[in-house]
Chain A
């Protein structure tokens, strides 16, 4: 092996190590527990690591024409505590704590979704 190949080998080995390191880092950081994402009009407005919540609190979310959803965040779970939407579907749904079903308030275009955690899935049918 001449010096040139040795240098190339070293460079490639370094690339391999870096890449492997990155992949391992990603894997170890991909499952940080559950995170709740709150969307309004299709835009992400709040992201909450639910496993780091120690005390319950509420987030008032104001929409158009006086629309309001009061979201309650608690350790490991989240819900719409009250809303002035006509159908109250989001309120009736209650707490969610895993990625299986998002809370959706269609009239106010609010979605609360959980990602990460055990048994993480890509989508939910239902």
Chain B
């Protein structure tokens, strides 16, 4: 039996040494882009190179989609007076995916809600409450079906404006994750201003722990923690960008039907899934829909492979059944309900 001891010890040593090696630090960077702060952490061989490339990609995509920058493709679309605009493959791809999601959500997501976002002052920070007449005049300008997309070009009727803010960060996360996987990266954490995209699991094989913020604006606290691997976790909430006037709170998520902040009874919507673009788009759309419609949407679209955390105005937390094992509520005084398929 003795001669078996040596291979056993060697194996144990190899496993343990492997364990030591995997405690390495990631290549990481913090950058300011797309109007937010982004933190990238990439593990493994060649991580620094992959990191530099990822940062370059983010700045490149930002330049394409910055609605306020005259050189961007989105700016060109918004100022082309109804003419066709040639698009880069990434913009065409994002627009195609986003338009599908607008249709799938029955227009609860609408890329052309930008005039409303601006009317309320969210583009400049000079907040104001527009008159009802002003809003009534804006509603007909919000209609994603008027955006035409074909063969790498697009056009938008004069007077209408589109913004990719509801999908750009989710798409960027998905795009970076795909590039990293193709480049052989097995483990990375991309936090794009509260839009979290993971590649693989943690280097030690355990899932990433992602906190979901408590939308109760009086608390800087975690509502719960979800454990994920190879997935995106994206939240839209009325607490993220808002202003108060005459005792009312107005937030940046617009209802395309009213050109006013969406009041559906929800405080926040978190979408967890493998496609960051889908998660980002749905987090906005389901916030506009409200809890009941959002649950029904989830039940009839299992093919999207997403899970949801909905927080209602009274603090009730609704999770979809797939999260029962991976979501842990930290605010233990809250009511937790499970949405069955």
A93-B220 in contact (CB<8A)? yes
Stretch of B59-67, B105-113, B128-136, B187-195 lying at the A interface: B187-195
Complex CA gap A9/B13 in Å reads: 11
Per-residue contact bits, chain A 92-126, to B (CB 8 Å; 1 contact, 0 not):
01111111111010100101000000011111111
B284 interface contact, C-beta 8 A: no
Complex CA gap A16/B15 in Å reads: 9
B37-A111 in contact (CB<8A)? yes
A12 in contact with B13 given A42-B31, A124-B211, A126-B240 (CB within 8 Å): yes
Given contact pairs A111-B30, A111-B37, enumerate 12 new A-B contacts (beta carbons under 8 Å): A15-B17, A16-B13, A23-B20, A42-B31, A101-B211, A104-B37, A121-B209, A124-B213, A125-B210, A125-B234, A126-B211, A126-B237
Interface size on B, residues (CB 8 A): 48
Identify the closest chain A residue to B32 (Cβ): A109
In the complex, which of the residues A9, A20, A119, A121 contacts B5, with contact meaning CB atoms closer than 8 Å?
A9
**A66: which B residues are within 8 A, CB to CB?**
none
B32-A42 in contact (CB<8A)? yes
A62 interface contact, C-beta 8 A: no
A124 in contact with B13 given A42-B30, A106-B37 (CB within 8 Å): no
**B214: which A residues are within 8 A, CB to CB?**
100
**B35: which A residues are within 8 A, CB to CB?**
106
Complex CA gap A109/B196 in Å reads: 20
A13-B9 in contact (CB<8A)? yes
A122-B208 in contact (CB<8A)? yes
Per-residue contact bits, chain B 17-38, to A (CB 8 Å; 1 contact, 0 not):
1011001000001111001110
Complex CA gap A93/B221 in Å reads: 11
B225-A8 in contact (CB<8A)? no
**B16: which A residues are within 8 A, CB to CB?**
15-16, 19-20, 23
Shortest distance from the beta carbon of B205 to any chain A beta carbon, whole Å: 14
B6 interface contact, C-beta 8 A: yes
Shortest distance from the beta carbon of B107 to any chain A beta carbon, whole Å: 25
In the complex, which of the residues A94, A98, A102 contacts B222, with contact meaning CB atoms closer than 8 Å?
A98
B138 interface contact, C-beta 8 A: no
**A99: which B residues are within 8 A, CB to CB?**
211
B19-A98 in contact (CB<8A)? no
Shortest distance from the beta carbon of A21 to any chain B beta carbon, whole Å: 10
Complex CA gap A84/B321 in Å reads: 46
**Which positions 13-40 of chain A face chain B at CB distance < 8 Å?**
13, 15-16, 19-20, 22-23, 26, 39
A125-B233 in contact (CB<8A)? yes
- Give 19 A-B contacts (CB < 8 Å), ordered by A residue: A1-B3, A1-B5, A9-B5, A15-B17, A16-B16, A23-B23, A94-B220, A96-B220, A100-B220, A111-B30, A111-B37, A119-B222, A123-B210, A123-B211, A123-B233, A124-B213, A125-B213, A125-B233, A126-B268
A19 in contact with B17 given A106-B32, A122-B202, A125-B233 (CB within 8 Å): yes
B30-A95 in contact (CB<8A)? no
Identify the closest chain B residue to A92 (Cβ): B217
Complex CA gap A111/B31 in Å reads: 10
Shortest distance from the beta carbon of A70 to any chain B beta carbon, whole Å: 19
A122-B209 in contact (CB<8A)? yes
**Which positions 122-145 of chain B face chain A at CB distance < 8 Å?**
125
Complex CA gap A124/B12 in Å reads: 36
